[in-house]
Every structure is written in C-alpha cells, then in structure tokens.
C-alpha cells in the first residue's frame, strides 16, 4: 500500500491515539493528506502547534462531531482511508450518561459507515477495545455494537469499494483514565487505592497500538477483527512497581468492571486464525467474500484469549520500557 498517494482522516484525532497516529504517519508513511477530525477546537489549536498546517503541509484540521453525518460527508470528500477512533470511553461517564454514549459510540459508528460508503472511501478501520468482548458495562456494549456495525457495514457497501474492519486491543499505558497515571498521582500522598490486587489487564503502548492499526489497514480485506498478542499484568504487581513504598487501600471491584478481560472469546474462536503476533476473526457471513490469509492456523474451538491465562506476563523491566511511551 502506497501511503504517499493516500488522503487519510482520523476521527477523534486530538485524543491520545490520534496524536500518536498523526506523529507516526507523518514520520514513516508520509501521506498525501492527513486530516484530523474532532470536536474540540482548543485541542486542535494545541495540536496545530506541534503539527502545523501551512499550504505545503499534508495536515488539515476539521472541526466536527461523528454524531453529525452531514459534517462527516463533507470531511470524507476525497478521502481514501479513515481511522475511526472517536468515542466516549470513560466507563463511569458512560454509565451515568448512557444516551450520550449510544449517540457517539453507536450512532457515530453508523454515521461513519454511511458517510464512507457515500464518499467512496476505500478502507475504514475502527479502533475497538477488549471491553467489547462479553461486555459488562455500557461502554463495552456500545463498542460491541460498533464492531458489529463495522463488520456488517461491508454488506451495506456491497458493490461499492468501501471496506470496513476493526482492530481490538487492551488498556493503553498512560492514556487518559488509565490506572497508571492514577497511581503516579496518588503516590505523591503516600497512599494508593486498588480495586483488587488479583485483577489482570492486557497492556499496550500508544506506539504499539498505532503500528498495529497501520498494519491492519494494510492487511484488511473487509469484515475482519484484528487482535494483537500483547502481555498481561496483575494490578497488585503494577502497584508494586509504581508505588512500592505507598500504603494500599483495597476498595473492591467497581460496578461495570471485570476481574479479567478477554480479547478473544470462546464463541469467537470458531473460525478465528492465529499468526505469530496476532489473531484474526474473519467475517462470519457468507455474503462477505473473504480470500483468507497466508500462514494462518485455526486457534481451535475452545480457545480463549484472556488476561488471566495469557502466556505473556509483563516483567518489571518490560513495564519500565513501556512507561517511556506514556502520555
């Protein structure tokens, strides 16, 4: 895929993922045009200081909301690749404001799909989360629906050229709402709060997430859900690394949280394919033509990719290296 000939747009482009995506794409892929689509003018202004947009620059900034289909239609004009990263993702905020979560995460996904088909966008990749697998909170449920919409969006596209796929991964170290910056803030007072030391999570850096998304865009045929192989860590071990000398207060698991997360559930393992560094869930429907991928092997019908039973656990040295990529 020749990125130098492509116009690329990222929704939620001023967020943690969007900023690193822009940085990496400009440095390594040099697209013809790179459009940041987001609703926060202040964040766009701040981002413009780092990535300016003079006439000879590929950068463009587009104010808008994924809830607004007309604005998306205007923004997608002439675009070849869309990365859909815009979402309401704070679990407590989504629980307290469920209609807002649905409007952005579900209806926003529908609007992106409709606008992309109408504008003739070639490839559209949605950034998803492990919380979409067997969800227990509204955020995860909305992301599950968004995944389903993107997979089935290929049926709506039909003979049109637009193709849709998803990338799904775990917690991003240092992102807004992550426990990592929370622990680092709390340790100043000598006391940290832990829900449950035995709780496990998948971990990935922004850089790794961005590189994975780029790879997925280049490999996608339409209808896939791509899942990277990434390490796990127990919350108690994380607390020991970040705040070993601090007093701990165990506050118990909160509403809408799981003890352990899944990136690939048992129901999805039928037909799922394993590669050296990732799993791929092909489209489940016969009406989505799928050519398959070379060097793939089936994972088996009983396979589950869980943060609890993961074969790769973060060591202290690995985690320190990952922290260098924090926000």
Indicate which residues carry an active-site annotation. Answer: 131
Distance CA 2, CA 12 (A): 24
Residue with tokens 């994380």: 238
Which pair of structure tokens corresponds to residue 167?
């990338």
Stretch (H or E) spanning 289: none
Distance CA 94, CA 114 (A): 24
Q: Which residues contact 27 (CB under 8 A, 6 or more apart)?
A: none
Distance CA 213, CA 175 (A): 17
| 279 strand-pairing partners | 227, 274
Distance CA 11, CA 1 (A): 21
- The DSSP secondary structure of 231-287, one letter per residue, reads -EEEHHHHHHHH-TTSEEEE--PPTT--SS-EEE-HHHHTT-EE-SSEEEE----TT
Residue with tokens 């860590």: 233
Q: Which residues contact 24 (CB under 8 A, 6 or more apart)?
A: 207, 210, 211, 214
Distance CA 19, CA 168 (A): 19
Residue with tokens 């869930």: 281
């Amino acid at each position: 895929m020749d990125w130098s000939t492509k116009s690329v747009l990222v929704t939620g482009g001023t967020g943690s993922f969007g900023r690193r995506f822009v940085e990496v794409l400009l440095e390594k892929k040099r697209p013809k045009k790179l459009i940041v689509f987001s609703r926060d003018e202040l964040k766009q202004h701040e981002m413009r200081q780092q990535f300016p947009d003079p006439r000879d620059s590929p950068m463009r900034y587009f104010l808008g909301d994924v809830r607004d289909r007309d604005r998306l239609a205007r923004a997608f004009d002439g675009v070849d690749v869309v990365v859909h990263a815009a979402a309401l993702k704070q679990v407590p905020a989504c629980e307290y404001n469920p209609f807002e979560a649905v409007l952005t995460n579900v209806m926003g996904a529908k609007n992106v799909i409709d606008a992309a088909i109408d504008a003739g966008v070639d490839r559209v990749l949605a950034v998803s989360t492990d919380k979409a697998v067997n969800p227990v909170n509204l955020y995860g449920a909305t992301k599950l629906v968004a995944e389903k919409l993107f997979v089935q969006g290929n049926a709506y596209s039909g003979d049109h050229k637009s193709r849709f796929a998803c990338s799904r991964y775990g917690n991003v170290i240092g992102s807004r709402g992550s426990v990592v910056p929370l622990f680092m803030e709390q340790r100043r007072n000598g006391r940290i709060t832990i829900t449950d030391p035995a709780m496990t999570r998948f971990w990935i850096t922004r850089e790794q997430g961005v590189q994975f998304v780029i790879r997925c865009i280049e490999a996608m045929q339409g209808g896939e859900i791509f899942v990277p192989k990434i390490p796990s860590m127990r919350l108690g071990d994380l607390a020991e690394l970040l705040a070993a000398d601090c007093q701990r207060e165990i506050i118990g698991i909160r509403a809408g949280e799981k003890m352990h997360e899944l990136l690939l559930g048992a129901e999805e393992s039928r037909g799922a394919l394993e590669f050296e560094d990732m799993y791929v869930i092909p489209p489940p429907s016969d009406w989505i033509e799928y050519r398959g991928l070379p060097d793939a092997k089936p994972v088996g019908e009983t396979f589950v990719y869980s943060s609890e039973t993961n074969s790769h656990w973060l060591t202290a040295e690995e985690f320190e290296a990952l922290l260098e990529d924090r926000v």
